[in-house]
Structure 1
Amino acid sequence: MAFQPIVDVLDGSVFAYEALVRGADGSGAGAVMSRVTHDNRFAFDQLCRRRAVELAASLGVATRISINFMPNAVYQPEVCLGTTLAAARRAQFPIERIMFEVTEGERVEDRPHLVKILNEYKRQGFTTAIDDFGAGHSGLNLLAEFQPDVIKLDMDLVREIDASAVRRSIVECIVRLARALDISVIAEGVETKEELATLRGLGINLLQGYLLARPAFEALPEIDRSVLQPRKGGAGRRAAA
């Protein structure tokens, strides 16, 4: 696993560390996922959960960890959670500090089943998140059926948002909707100071991306706090969505 922080830019604190799958040699997620098949995806999904919790505990993570799960690998959600709960107990890692993200890595075959999974995770006390919001299955129709704790904006909406009035308008509407539903918003894929400033101006204070910190292999990376200096006039310091 590699870890990348999700940062609250209002005070520089870490909201969560996302656990990102890597090969044992440090190879990227694409190389690993290319070897996941229908026959091994359940075992792979369970192994990723266990490894993320155990590694986070060994690194002394004192905040949330965010774990991507494969919805098509989950058959009975209460049974599939057994591995996560057991790993958390062994590592003495509080389950309320575990966030599960629905990954966009595979096509969802049964959306009612996905909603059942998310509801069970929420009932068990985990934080729930819809990743890549605005792309694929992670749209308004899913949000109408299930309201997660967090939505993560699709990176295509974040990219060069400072130069796109259309992207700014779309994200502004998403932020208003999320506030109405009491959902936090995370913007991922932030790579420039201009993107950061624009997102802050839209009221999004939970940010993730190379500008703040690159993923670190089996380690917690340093955050570049120099980019977190408040803008003149206090713009962008509205409450986090």
Structure 2
Amino acid sequence: MSPIDTSVLSNSFKLIIQPHNPEVKQCLHGLGFQNLPNIPQLLYLAVTDQQLIEVCLQIGQTVSDESQLLSRCFFTRSPLNSEGLLIEFLHAQPLSALTASIKYSWFFEVLINQTLFFKYQPVFNLSSGNVIAHECLARATGKNGAAFSGKQLVDAALSSRCVHEFDELARKTCLEAIANFNTEQTFFINVLPNAIIQNPQALAQNFQQVFDLGLRPQQIVFELTEVEALLDCPELSELVPWIREQGFGIAVDDLCGNVSFDHYFTGFYPDLIKLDRQLVHGCSQHALQQVLIKSFLHSAHELGILVLAEGLEDIADIEFCRELGVDFGQGYGLGMPELTLQEQPLNWSALDLPELLSGDRLAAQTTESRSWFNLSEAGSWEPKLIAPWERLEK
């Protein structure tokens, strides 16, 4: 259902709602809504354009998402005793369409005006302390300098059903920003799998964009988020090998204890897995987390897959992961997201950590098994003859 277009409204009009249940009716009465004289099942409130925004925000705070979806609404300038109100009600839409239009109006402006920008959080080799990559984290600016976080952007994209538009704009903008750095560093770019499954041609356009901008595929690691819902998706199993064939890296984000490790690799084979903050934070103190991390790490290394621990904030957690042999680390305890790239290696003594363990094993593994971390490797992207969606159509 498309969001309700409120741009045509001006001056005073009436917002009419059919509440889903008595609880919603009570909430609306509390906001000043009254029963229609001839149709008491419907409630109305006379509002202006400016008042509508405040009313919708209040509804969003007091009425559950499910009740917003099941309640229906429409606008009218007809008299309250008009016989035509029931005819107008036939065109009523879910109340959620109205509240989303108001609540996320800033998000639509971000998409239209393309005001996304990125911060870059360093990813460290936990053995050597060197920066090996940066994760690109989307941010946005709105009216009057308002700033929006990555979580706000993703939540708005999901709620407004603009996931594909947001994901495609973010990838395009991110690649342009990376090219401006004129660096050989590696970058992690977040990708919503469902978005590229629905429109793999957009991903092919990104491949061409990488080539046109003078970047190399080996510099880009596509980080798949929310993979759990798509583990058995054959389209994703087709896409991932195709992405890797072009020279790009594949990482799986948010690996945690709620999904068994082998499920992630029955359909595709990533270059790197990221252990979720929920699993990593406090791992130095909790035996169950330690067992799970050790299990994931052993299985991944047996398959030649690298492991990155997210959410490293505490010194004890950093030391535990490092001594255990976790390849890479990321978190506020190591480096904050910044507008510029951080290249300074970690100062282990400043972190009050013991002397470095040998980094020879990881350095050899990284160079031999994953070419997209070998930044001295030359190459350029060349499109393949058969794209995955072409194979699926046959």
- Tell me the TM-score range normalised by the shorter chain: 0.7 to 0.9
Map of 1:149 onto structure 2? 271
C-alpha displacement of 1:81: 1.9
Map of 2:119 onto structure 1? 2
Structure-to-structure mapping, 1:67-78, within 5 angstroms: 67-75=189-197, 78=200
Higher-Rg structure is: 2
The letter of the residue matching 2:151 is G
Map of 1:214 onto structure 2? 336
Q: Distance in 2 between matches of 1:78 and 1:194?
A: 42
C-alpha displacement of 1:22: 0.9
2:132 match: secondary structure: strand
Rate the CA distance shift 1:236–1:28 in 2: closer, same or farther, 3 A.
farther
The worse-fitting range, judged by mean Cα deviation, of 28-37 and 108-117 is 108-117
Structure-to-structure mapping, 1:181-200, within 5 angstroms: 181-200=303-322
Q: Which runs of 5+ in 1 are unaligned?
A: none
The worse-fitting range, judged by mean Cα deviation, of 28-37 and 45-54 is 28-37
TM-score, normalising length from structure 1?
0.87
Rate the CA distance shift 1:124–1:234 in 2: closer, same or farther, 3 A.
closer
TM-score, normalising length from structure 2?
0.55
- Aligned structure 1 segments of 4 or more residues deviating by more than 3 angstroms: 75-78, 105-110, 135-139, 221-224, 227-241
Map of 1:32 onto structure 2? 153
Rate the CA distance shift 1:188–1:61 in 2: closer, same or farther, 3 A.
farther
Map of 1:120 onto structure 2? 242
User: Does 1:49 pair with 2:171?
Assistant: yes
C-alpha displacement of 1:109: 8.5
User: Does 1:93 pair with 2:93?
Assistant: no
C-alpha displacement of 1:214: 0.8
Map of 2:324 onto structure 1? 202
* 1:78 and 1:120 in contact (8 A); partners too: no
Alignment deviations for residues 109-151 of structure 1 (CA, whole Å, 9 cap, x no partner): 8622222221221122110111111256684212232221100
2:182 match: secondary structure: coil
The letter of the residue matching 1:11 is S
Q: Distance in 1 between matches of 2:152 and 2:285?
A: 33
Using CA pairs under 8 Å that are at least 6 residues apart, name the structure with larger relative contact order, 1 or 2: 1
User: Does 1:17 pair with 2:150?
Assistant: no
Alignment deviations for residues 83-107 of structure 1 (CA, whole Å, 9 cap, x no partner): 3123212321111111011112894
C-alpha displacement of 1:224: 7.1
2:308 match: secondary structure: strand
Q: Distance in 1 between matches of 2:226 and 2:258?
A: 7
* 1:157 and 1:167 in contact (8 A); partners too: yes
1:16 match: secondary structure: strand
C-alpha displacement of 1:225: 2.2
Rate the CA distance shift 1:119–1:92 in 2: closer, same or farther, 3 A.
same
* 1:201 and 1:237 in contact (8 A); partners too: no
C-alpha displacement of 1:235: 4.9
Q: Distance in 2 between matches of 1:137 and 1:46?
A: 28
* Number of residue pairs the alignment of both structures matches: 240
C-alpha displacement of 1:154: 1.3
Q: Distance in 2 between matches of 1:79 and 1:183?
A: 28
Q: Which runs of 5+ in 2 are unaligned?
A: 1-117, 366-394
| Matching residue within 64, 67, 75 for 2:186 | 64
